[in-house]
Structure 1
Amino acid sequence: MEIKNPSSPPLFLADNLALDFINSEYGTGDDRHDCFDDDRSVIDWLQTAGLVPKGTVAPPELLGEARQLRDAARAVVHAAMKSSEADLTVINRMLETGRPETRLEWDQDTQRYRVDVRSVADSPAGLLWPVANALVKLLTDDKFEYVRQCEAHNCILLFHDLSKSHRRRWCSMATCGNRMKVAAFRNRKSS
């Protein structure tokens, strides 16, 4: 399988942060694109997702940690879809070492108490913690049963089917849905 750099921005079509993170590697068959090719590209993805502000500096090893988390997340989602167990070591490590510090503080200006949450933005785990946390919420939610893999031939993308009827079949109607409908039409015409 050849992994190429994407010529387009990352895909955000899964209706779930953790699934969009998994989908940062996409494509069909052997034609795969990886949105993460260096530490900066991971920061760019996190910015696009609204998880870090512009100007965030990438800590060393962010690329490796992001790819490890993505692979572990993909494995656990596929295992959960089959009601089977997966290795949770990477995910639990991210949850533990990246957990934001939460403190109760007195705000002198407003004369009230407030919650101050500080992430560990200088570490890969601190930056990736929101993704790991979103994964935990997805896996333990009653609506996990609506996580689907695109039905298009060779497409690896996952999505959370939050449609009213829960009958969504493709990652995107504009790409895979259209491609599959055209293929079905051609098959009907040739028969």
Structure 2
Amino acid sequence: MLAPAQAFLQIADDPALDFLNTVARNESGLYEYLETDSDVIAWLQAMEFLDAKEQPSFRKGALLNAARSLRDTIRKLVIQKKDGKRLDVAALNSFLDHARYHVNLVRRAHGQLDVVHNYDRASPEQLLAPVAQAAAELLATGDFELVRKCESEDCILWFYDRTKAHRRRWCSMAMCGNRHKVANFRARQKYAAGE
């Protein structure tokens, strides 16, 4: 099992894209972060869609299957939007149809007021409704000139470029950006040595 908050990639600057990034590529191939229902719950907790003390329980595998289905739906829609194609929103709307929530105004400890959406959690689809809503908001209001796939040929991760200059190229400088720098350095060293 994963060590919840530390193990998940939170590099996309958008929760829907971070959800896509629960499948990544490493040296040995594709790595699946969501292997069990517990992994999905841990991801929801790490992203603060679910309180750490909440441990919803459903039929074994139901939450995992729903999460992977939602992830596939979001990936398809992000790619369609990025390619300028007409979006087939029926599958995402199916998830959104399950969303039931009420809104409260909550006073935080420091006196700040927050609007909080409290979602029903009677089914896997309801538990995943905040993720589906984040995806819907990204698709409807996101600037897709700034939604990008990492430039590394081997990487499948996505991110929302919120940098000031909007020149982000890598999922993470610590991962793909560093590999690119090392490869360029080695190529320059090899060229300088006349090889």
Tell me which interval the TM-score lies in, with the shorter structure as reference length. 0.7 to 0.9
Provide Cα deviations, 1:79-133, integer angstroms capped at 9, x if missing partner: 1111013443321111011x123379xxxxxxxxxx8854221211111111111
Give the letter for the 2:92 counterpart: I
Provide Cα deviations, 1:27-57, integer angstroms capped at 9, x if missing partner: 1476111111111110010011111112322
State the distance in 1 between where 2:57 and 2:33 align: 15
Aligned pair count reads 177
State the distance in 2 between where 1:116 and 1:49 align: 15
State the distance in 1 between where 2:137 and 2:83 align: 18
Report the counterpart of residue 169 of structure 1 in structure 2.
169
State the distance in 2 between where 1:177 and 1:144 align: 22
Report the counterpart of residue 88 of structure 1 in structure 2.
89
Gaps of 5+ in 2: 105-114
Cα RMSD after superposing both structures: 2.4
Identical positions, percent: 39
Aligned pair in 2 of structure 1 residues 22, 142: CA closer, same or farther (>3 Å)? closer
State the distance in 2 between where 1:116 and 1:182 align: 45
State the distance in 2 between where 1:163 and 1:122 align: 38
**TM-score with structure 2 setting the length:** 0.82
State the distance in 2 between where 1:179 and 1:116 align: 41
Gaps of 5+ in 1: 105-114
Report the counterpart of residue 127 of structure 2 in structure 1.
127
**TM-score with structure 1 setting the length:** 0.84
SS at match of 2:94: helix
Aligned pair in 2 of structure 1 residues 84, 179: CA closer, same or farther (>3 Å)? same
Report the counterpart of residue 158 of structure 2 in structure 1.
158
